[in-house]
A and B are shown apart, each in its own frame.
Chain A
Amino acid sequence: MNSQIAAFLTIDGVATGAIYVLIALGFVLIFAVTRVIFVPFGDIVAFTALTLAALETKHMPGTVGLVAALAVVATLMEIFTLLRAKDPGRIPRALLFYLILPLAPAAVVWLTAGASIPLPLRIVLALALIMPISPLLDRVVFRPIADGSVLLLLTVAVALHFALVGLGLLFFGPEGVRTESLTDYQLILGSIPISGQSILIVAAAIVFSGLLFLFFEFTITGKSLHATAVNRTGARLMGIRPERAGTVAYLLGSLLAGVSGVLISPVNTIFYDSGFIIGLKAFVGAIFGGLVSFPMTALGSLLVGVLESFAAFQSSSFKEVIVFSVLIPVLLWRSYTFVDSEEDIDE
């Protein structure tokens, strides 16, 4: 390996890593606020890519059906809960948030099916379609067990991932997709070509990390999310609803996942089940930050990207083995450097 190959691999790795940064930040955001390790997060990335591809080929994206099904289930659950709590006055509000708002983008896509839509609008539509999925899943799956241990939530999240992969095959079919590239620009630095796509990915990672920082630093919603992350009971005493904070976290997280899905689909062929591995690699990055620190998470995700790039060069078939094996020393390092109060495992 000469220095030119090394430089090329590094640039390639940084671009891959930048995608992981976006996903990993979403992981940390959702975990901090809801204590859920949202394993299906990678599936959201894959579903965005598949949605975008369907819009590109003027097909009806499977997402429409998925969102509709989830919205109906969530609405029914919410109405049932409200009726049991003898609070029917809040039903119209529930209908708005659980049925009408999530279905609005789906309706737009359904009505404009077959029309040719310019690329920027397709991206916006794909993101709007994807964003309600995680908050709806939160309502249907996680809210009934919000008091459970992290381990219970994790087990449920893993099961949910498998359900989503099955649904993904059902709604999107087994074909892989690759969307048209966002830019043809190419930068030659010295003798190394850098694709415009890579630059776009890194730029997006920087912009969205920056926005996330500003959101937490300067908005009251951001502060309330932070408060919920630090102490749920304390936040509740201050009048913050942990459920609402959770929904905001899921929405923001989905946006990050959606953006990374849009960015990755011109570079990699995405199948209905590609999400898990992508998500898991981002997760290795998130572990660097102990699922707490945003800057360390970003750094860790970049490292994973670079490592993957070099591992793929050395031995492409053992790429995954190498990347996942790295998780273990990282976890070990975290568990030694990270002193937290002992949590008794509940029964």
Chain B
Amino acid sequence: MNPRTVRLVTVAVVLLIAVAPLYLAPFSISLMNYIGVYALVALGLVLLTGVGGMVSFGQSAFMGIAAYATAWMSAIEGLSPWLGLVLALVLTGGVAAILGAVTLRLKGHFLSLSTIAWGLAIYFMFGNIPGLGNYSGITAIPPISIGSMALETSKEIYYLIWAILLGAMLLSYNLLNSRMGRAMRALRGGNAMVESLGINAFYVRLVTFVISALLAAFAGWLYAHMNRFVSPTPFDVTMGIEFLMMAMVGGSGYLLGAIVGSALITLLKNSVQDYLPLIAPSAAGQLEIVVFSALFIIFLQYAREGIVPFVAHFLPEPKRQPPEETEPLPQRVQPEPGLMLLTAEACTQRFGGLVAVNDVSFELKSGEILGLIGPNGAGKSTMFNLLTGALPVTAGKIRFSGADITRTAQRNIARAGIARTFQHVKLRPRMSLLDNVLLGTYTRTKAGFLAGAFRLDRHEENEARYEALRQLERVGLGDKPYELAGNLPLGNQRVLEIARALAADPVLLVLDEPAAGLRRQEKLALAALLRSLKKEGLTILIVEHDMEFVMNLVDRIFVMEFGSKLCEGEPAVIRADQRVQEAYLGGVA
């Protein structure tokens, strides 16, 4: 499928949506309106849950805040629904920002549970504020007017709903394919990876959360003026679950999943309401929720991914061109070789009673390659985590290019020019090689959420993409930039991590067992790459178990054992050292 076919299909679908009201019965149009409104909320959940990995049961509460805000503004205060929209967005966004600031540091299921809690609290609030009509709600909400035309019938508001939905889809699509969108997609990889790329994970989470709340706010605004009536019931946690159901059934990792899921659930619910009375006339209302929940459970048991990826599986792969050549991203000037770049002074790390790193000091000069070796459990990876800020030092001091970074946040250390790879590979297996490497360029680029959504970032984005391709080619993975990272063998995944680190244009490259899982030829190629990097002025710190690889590559070696320094020196000296031999081979009796 080439891009032209995709464009043609898109245009056809939009046209179909545009002419639909001319041929549909009023009831079907109003069903389409509900699908559109719910799809907006589900779209927010796709971004929040499918992309960002945060499961929220509380979106209906956000929708409710917006609906009540505009109902109050227009029905009680008698002002324009457009002012109601402004109030709805400000209020919902504000509440989401506050709730997010408080709860988004929570982990996994705790976060989801907190959404149930505040979802319920907000629902009970709607029912108990006398000014908002308690549980009976607010009636006589005026319709939205555009100019002198009031959107009273379902046919009239149809165009507004679907225009907003399609606009939101387009902006979301742009966003996901931009710098911040990639950061959002990276969130599921865990904080350690995200922060090591210089990304403020909390900030990205918070903005994602607010975006999803704002989409729910648009839905709430439309809902209030479509029904001309609000009450607490439609904004209960039950409805929040239904929205989640829509996103998951459609395919929570896919933007289209929002519309597909919303359409399917709304139509299904409608037909369940039609047919259940025929099967069980007396208990239709009760059975509806039972049938629904049972279907959802069965669905999750057999198809956790959702419908869109299932269908997409049968469609031909879209053809994509590799990024075009353009001007390179600006590069930093590497420090003069031989200067003091990194010093660790008496660093200690304790985990409870265990001392993983004990009083270790060393120095690293710019332009050299230092090997850190030692038997398993010597504290090498812990040392790496201290240097890159992934773990706070218990005692000691770390300086990088003259600045004290002992207490600096991981992402700021990454920004200062230390890029790392992990002993246990941390990549996004469902993102392409190119996107994974693009994550590395995060600190060198600037485009924010708005620039990404409105495509104001194209110049910078093209540069970044070309840079990512160059780094992929450099490590020997340039032939299939759109392959998914998860499809690579483990050895190549390590190499991909190196490409990602290089895309950050670092001063110091910190590699944790880069050669593990590589074949001999690949190891030689990797060693050649590291040597050429050194020639460009890069400084490299490397942990590796393959002695042949280390001895032929590095300038100096630092040996650790049981968390302490054993010795340091040139490879030949280390090879001959009695203590090192004993540490690795056991004492000669």
Contact = CB atoms under 8 A, between A and B. Distances in A.
Interface stretch (A6-14, A100-108, A146-154, A198-206): A146-154
Interface stretch (A48-56, A84-92, A226-234, A321-329): A321-329
Contacts, number: 133
B5 interface: no
Contacts of B300: 145, 152, 155-156, 159
Interface stretch (A177-185, A256-264, A331-339): A331-339
Interface stretch (A123-131, A161-169, A235-243, A294-302): A161-169
Interface of B is mostly: helix
A209 to B, nearest CB: 23
A145 to B, nearest CB: 6
A175 interface: no
Interface string B32-52: 000000000000000000000
Interface in B175-224: 188-192
Interface string A13-34: 0000000000000000000000
Contact of A331 (B113, B253, B289, B292): B113
Contacts of B304: 145, 148, 152
Given A167-B290, A327-B114, A158 B192 contact: no
A158 B241 contact: yes
A336 B106 CA distance: 8
- A166, A167, A284 pick with most chain B CB within 10 angstroms: A166
B234 to A, nearest CB: 16
A37 B109 CA distance: 9
Contacts of A78: none
- A165, A340, A347 pick with most chain B CB within 10 angstroms: A347
Contact of B430 (A155, A160, A280, A347): A347
Nearest to A163: B293
Nearest to B282: A170
Contacts of A340: 107
A251 interface: no
Given A37-B109, A287-B110, A328 B103 contact: yes
B563 to A, nearest CB: 20
A159 B121 contact: no
Nearest to B299: A159
A144 interface: yes
B248 A155 contact: yes
B297 A160 contact: yes
Interface string B102-116: 110111111011101
Contacts of B288: 166
B125 interface: yes
Interface string A305-347: 0000000000001101100110111011011100010111101
Given A162-B241, A325-B118, A334 B110 contact: yes
B283 A170 contact: yes
B128 A284 contact: no
Contact of B125 (A154, A321, A344, A345): A321
Contacts of B113: 37, 154, 283, 287, 327, 331
A144 B241 CA distance: 21
A342 B192 contact: yes
B114 A328 contact: yes
B245 interface: yes
Contacts of A150: 108-109
Contact of B57 (A158, A169, A287): A158
Interface string B123-151: 01100100000000000000000000000
A144 B301 contact: yes
Contacts of A167: 286, 290
A335 B241 contact: no
Given A162-B238, A325-B117, A170 B102 contact: no
A76 interface: no
A345 B286 CA distance: 35
Interface of A is mostly: helix
A174 B245 CA distance: 27
Contacts of B429: 347
A344 B188 contact: yes
A79 interface: no
A287 B293 CA distance: 26
Contact of B293 (A144, A151, A166, A317): A166
A342 B190 CA distance: 7
A141 interface: yes
B103 A170 contact: no
A154 B244 CA distance: 12
Nearest to A161: B293
B290 A170 contact: yes
Nearest to B53: A345
A347 B188 contact: yes
Nearest to B130: A317
Nearest to A148: B304
A155 B190 contact: no
Contacts of B490: none
Contacts of A321: 121, 124-125, 128
Nearest to B99: A328
Contacts of B117: 280, 284, 324-325, 327-328, 331
Contact of A151 (B102, B106, B108, B114): B108
Contacts of B116: 158, 280
Interface string A35-70: 001000000000000000000000000000000000
B287 A170 contact: yes
Interface in B298-330: 300-301, 304
A172 to B, nearest CB: 10
B290 A335 contact: no
- A162, A163, A320 pick with most chain B CB within 10 angstroms: A162
Contacts of A166: 286-290, 293
A343 B109 CA distance: 11
A65 to B, nearest CB: 12
B86 interface: no
Interface of B: 53, 55, 57, 99, 102-103, 105-110, 112-114, 116-118, 120-121, 124-125, 128, 188-192, 238, 241, 244-245, 248, 253, 283, 286-290, 292-294, 296-297, 300-301, 304, 429-430
8 contacts: A145-B300, A158-B241, A159-B241, A162-B238, A287-B113, A320-B120, A325-B121, A331-B113
Given A324-B117, A331-B114, 11 more contacts: A145-B304, A152-B304, A155-B248, A165-B289, A167-B290, A170-B283, A318-B128, A324-B120, A328-B103, A335-B105, A335-B106
A-B pairs, top 4 by smallest CB distance, nearest first, are: A163-B293, A166-B290, A166-B289, A327-B117
